[in-house]
Amino acid sequence: MKTKMLLYLPLILILCSCRVDIENNAAEKWKNEIIKTERNFANMAGEEGIAKAFMTYAAEDAVVMRNNVLVIGKKNLAKHFEKQSSGPKDEKLSWKPDFVDVSASGDLAYTYGHFTYAYTDSTGTKIESSGVFHTVWKRQADGSWRFVWD
């Protein structure tokens, strides 16, 4: 019996170590997907506008907090942006995550980092504010990532 245990023990250890490698590879793959998604999201905001980017990357059940008010659902998010359509024409929002993590199951992720929002006011003065963002991402049925919290 002890001999059989000694024979199986190395096999068990090898199989367990392979599983850890597979999990680590999957986690890295998912983190890279999120980094790419964040980059594409930020690029779209810079090139095609903030509203379009947020509407493209929002999940149907997305929630955003703006000025201490929750905007719940993609339909309400669209209304929020419609109200702001008379805002500055040269507004720019840029960001980059400083940290990314993904759940072990690969269906949820979160990022945080720094953002900068800039525009020119009616007097021609350049206004810039910066802060910290936090985004929660959820993998959709089609395999894409959409934010559910921002």
The DSSP H or E segment spanning 113 is: strand 108-120
DSSP secondary structure code for residue 67 in this structure:
T
Domain residues of the chain, as ranges? 2-149
In this structure, which CATH number among 3.40.50.300, 3.10.450.50, 3.40.50.80, 3.40.50.920 belongs to the domain 2-149? 3.10.450.50
Could you tell me whether strands 58-66 and 69-72 are parallel, antiparallel, or unpaired per DSSP bridges? antiparallel
Torsion of the alpha carbons at 71, 72, 75 and 81, rounded to the nearest 10: 10
Token pair belonging to 44: 């779209």
Number of H helices, E strands in the chain: 3, 6
The band of 18, judged by pLDDT with boundaries at 50, 70 and 90, is very low
List, for residues 51-61, the tens digit of each pLDDT value.
999 999 999 99
The band of 88, judged by pLDDT with boundaries at 50, 70 and 90, is confident
H helices of the chain, in order, are 2-48, 50-57, 74-83
Could you tell me whether strands 58-66 and 145-149 are parallel, antiparallel, or unpaired per DSSP bridges? parallel
CA dihedral for 142, 26, 96, 39, sign (positive or negative): negative
Write down the residue that tokens 């998010």 correspond to.
77
Bigger pLDDT: 79 vs 21: 79
